[in-house]
Amino acid sequence: MKSERPLRSLDELTLDSKFSIQELISRESFDVLLRSMNELFAVPIRVFATDGALFSEVGPASPLQSYLGTLPGARRSVRETVEQVKSSTPQGDNDLRLQGETGERYTVIALTYDGRPLGRAVVGPYVLPSESMPQALAQCDPLVSSDRLTQVWGEISRSDEASVARLARHLRSMLGLILFSGHRALLASNMHIASVQESFRELSEKSATLQAAYERLKELDRLKSNFLATVSHELRTPLTSIIGYSEMLVAGIAGDINEEQRDFIGTIHDKGEQLLELIKGLLDLTKLESGTLNLHKLDIPILPILKDIVHTLTPTARNKGVILSATGDAGMPTLWGDAARLRQVFLNLTENAIKFTPAGGHVTLSAQIAHVELPTDEEGPAIVLRGVKRPMIEVRVADTGIGIPESERPRVFDAFYQVDSSSTREQGGTGLGLSIVKRLVDAHDGTVEIGENIPRGAVFVVRIPCKRLSFFG
Amino acid sequence: MQLDFTARELTIKLVYYGPALSGKTTNLQALHAASSPEATGRLMTLETRDDRTLFFDLLPLTFSSEKGLSVRLKVFTVPGQVIHASTRRLVLQGADGVVFVADSREAETEHNAESFRDLRENLKQNGLSTKQLPLVLQFNKRDLPSVRTEAELTDMAAQGKEPVYLAVATKGHGVVDTFVGLLHLTWQTLDMRHGFTEKFGFESSAFFADVLGKLNDPRTLPEVLNSRVGRRGLRKEVAQ
């Protein structure tokens, strides 16, 4: 992303810096400085920018010039004095001392910064403490009044040249410091802006790279889902034949077979079924991921599903020496869901529980009604609905097995994830089951969480809404 | 570089680069202390924290030859810490020459290398490279224990094309040598590119005499330039 440049670049501010006095100094603050100088030295001071514009002034206008301005014969010498002051430009630290025809004195000081002219300071008019007025002044005009002339001459500021030189020195060093500070502040603020802009540019570039990588990963993920769907589908077709023909062989349709052959074919059939389940799982997962799985939702009771699962898995549990049971209140409301898919959910969780529970342990399925507050992070309705509790059926699948470490809990629902991923792990499985569980529960607008079964084992808590709420559509 | 034809004034930008705490600011302070008041302005230090430079230091210096150009130098340092990459890139913009200030201690070798890679990368981002840009190396802090030996550095210097100077910036040793070494190299490069000598009748020797005079160094230019280590024979101009 292209960012705007700061007001002036670092190079512009340091290499070809031609500053005007107005840019670096606040006029109001400078007036204060000049007034205090005037208090100390009691002479008028005027500061001009390089273009000749008056920047700041302190002290009265010359009383002598005001008076002479009223006399036609004296106007010329006043004008010439002013012109002389205006046109003189001193070089470097060499102050220029001038005395006009009127007898008034001026000192012109060059103001510079970083070797470049910044303006001029004009000190005056003043006269030396004991200086008397020039003789010529009394004859400058026939109308001149010598009393008045003596009076205005007395009103001119008095100062000796050494004081004025001191003033010039002070003014220069004071101004140098102020200009330096001003320049420094200007540079610092510009650097702040420029650094932030540069960092922003850098971050924008990185973020664009990350965005591109993210898009690519999303695309790869989509390709993976497509691939899984295609492969699962293609695998299922020949597998159906393998299972079908092995069933026919066992049934004796192709002729008699002996016990051993029946046993072998039985194994082929069972393993084929196992493989088919795995492939179906993959297919379900891809359908769930792409959102194309159709649920046939109805008002259904939960207890028959749990009892059926206990019935189905009791032989497995018994083989492992695990006690399997289901409890629940017969008067519970129905829930809104797809019976076959919910059976798949609880079958999977119960199988898992049995798998990870050692002999002598318990696996318990219990159902009860729970009133759950609606999440408040939804937009709009959440505020209105705050405090409204939604009735849900809560099913807890609790075991007394090895449990799931807290750090692993958020990840067990990821596809293909195994808590123990070492090649020597004790339990088999593809790592697909729980991710399918999570997606099926999501598709029911429900939640699934993992808790601890005190004192030992894990408990999966699944909550499915009792009714479709009409205002949720 | 900025050239003002009407004022016959040339502004050159030199940058002191290097890892954190290698003595870049100390170099500028020593240079400021050595130079005459009429040649230098205030040393500007922009934003520091715990004695570390956050933005940069800026030392203005002005030299001139009898006739022809007056040359204004703006000498910058960059902040050394890794996190100030964007500031370093900004300061490096438009640089005419660079001094790389390395810390001579053995333990700092990796930091030096890292900072040099950073310099290259930042030059690249500014459309420059260490090949075209006048570059001088300074191995600073020669007075500290467990530094890389002079023989090792001399040997290294003899293999590279950049002039190498040894320095103890806190005592001012080698500071003027490094600076004049870079200024000379930068001047040659700019003159070759823009032909100042021809256009302005610039006298290089008079200019460098002014530089050394204002830096209060009694040596001649060849003496200063020859203080570099591991040089492969004298240049023609220097040998004269």
* B234 in a structural domain: no
Rounded Cα distance between B224 and B182, Å, is: 11
Span A318-335, average pLDDT: 87
Interface contact flag, A180 B46, Cβ < 8 Å = no
With 80 as the cut, is the pLDDT of residue A335 above it? yes
CA B142: distance to chain centroid? 18
Q: The tokens 């492992």 sit on which residue?
A: A320
Partner residue opposite A15 with nearest CB, options B11, B41, B87: B11
Interface contact flag, B46 A184, Cβ < 8 Å = yes
Number of domains in chain B: 1
Rounded Cα distance between B197 and A404, Å, is: 81
With 80 as the cut, is the pLDDT of residue A470 above it? no
- Residues on chain A touching B90 (C-beta within 8 angstroms): 10, 191, 194-195, 198
Partner residue opposite A15 with nearest CB, options B2, B86, B89: B2
* B240 in a structural domain: no
β-pair type (B9-17, B97-103) = parallel
Element (H, E) at A271: helix A259-290
Q: The tokens 């199988």 sit on which residue?
A: A351
Average pLDDT over all residues of chain A: 83
With 80 as the cut, is the pLDDT of residue A66 above it? yes
pLDDT score, position A196: 87
Residue type, A395: V
Partner residue opposite B60 with nearest CB, options A9, A16, A114: A114
pLDDT score, position A388: 64
Residue type, A78: V
Kindly give, in sequence order, each residue whose CB lies less than 8 Å from that of residue A371, ignoring residues fewer than 6 positions away: A389, A390, A391, A392
Least confident of A59-68, A283-292, B30-39, B56-65: A283-292
Partner residue opposite B2 with nearest CB, options A16, A191, A194: A16
- Two tokens at B233? 């024979």
Interface contact flag, A15 B47, Cβ < 8 Å = no
Kindly give, in sequence order, each residue whose CB lies less than 8 Å from that of residue B61, ignoring residues fewer than 6 positions away: B31, B35, B39, B40, B72, B73, B75, B214
pLDDT score, position A6: 43
Q: Tell which A residues from 102 to 131 touch B, by Cβ distance under 8 Å.
A: 114-115
Global pTM value: 0.66
- Two tokens at A263? 């046993």
Q: The tokens 């965005």 sit on which residue?
A: A211
Q: What percent of chain A has pLDDT over 70?
A: 89
Strand stretches in A128-249, DSSP E: 157-158
Partner residue opposite A11 with nearest CB, options B4, B60, B93: B93
> What is the number of CB-based contacts under 8 A between chain A and chain B?
58
The pLDDT averaged over each successive group of 10 residues in chain B (240 residues) is: 83 94 94 90 80 81 76 91 84 93 94 93 88 93 94 89 94 96 94 84 85 94 92 46
Q: Which of B51, B58, B91, B50 is nearest to B74 (CA)?
A: B58
Kindly give, in sequence order, each residue whose CB lies less than 8 Å from that of residue B56, ignoring residues fewer than 6 positions away: A191, B46, B76, B77, B78, B79, B87, B91
* B238 in a structural domain: no
Interface contact flag, B13 A15, Cβ < 8 Å = yes
CA R_g for chain B: 17
Rounded Cα distance between B73 and B59, Å, is: 8
Domain at B26, CATH number: 3.40.50.300
- Two tokens at B121? 């990368």
- Two tokens at A216? 């690519």
Burial A210-228 (b: 16+ CB within 10 A, else e): eeeeeeeeeeeeeeebeeb
pLDDT score, position B30: 96
Structural contact between residues A416 and A432, judged by C-beta atoms closer than 8 angstroms: yes
* B207 in a structural domain: yes
Structural contact between residues A415 and A435, judged by C-beta atoms closer than 8 angstroms: yes
Element (H, E) at B87: helix B85-92
Element (H, E) at A180: helix A161-250
- Two tokens at B203? 């006298």
Least confident of A36-45, A380-389, B109-118, B124-133: A380-389
Q: Which of B181, B235, B188, B45 is nearest to A188 (CA)?
A: B45
User: For residue range A93-145, what is the model confidence (pLDDT) as tens digits?
Assistant: 788 999 988 889 999 999 888 878 889 999 989 999 988 888 888 887 778 88
A122 phi and psi angles, rounded to 5 deg = -115, 120
Residue A202 at interface with chain B, using a CB cutoff of 8 Å: yes
pLDDT score, position A3: 44
Nearest CA in chain B to A193: B87
Confidence label for A424 from pLDDT (cuts 50, 70 and 90): very low
Domains by residue range for chain A, with CATH:
10-196 (3.30.450), 199-290 (1.10.287), 298-472 (3.30.565.10)
Q: Is A121 strand, coil or helix?
A: strand
* B237 in a structural domain: no
- Residues on chain B touching A183 (C-beta within 8 angstroms): 44
Least confident of A225-239, A340-354, A378-392: A378-392
Interface contact flag, A114 B47, Cβ < 8 Å = no
User: For residue range A360-376, what is the model confidence (pLDDT) as tens digits?
Assistant: 888 999 998 888 776 65
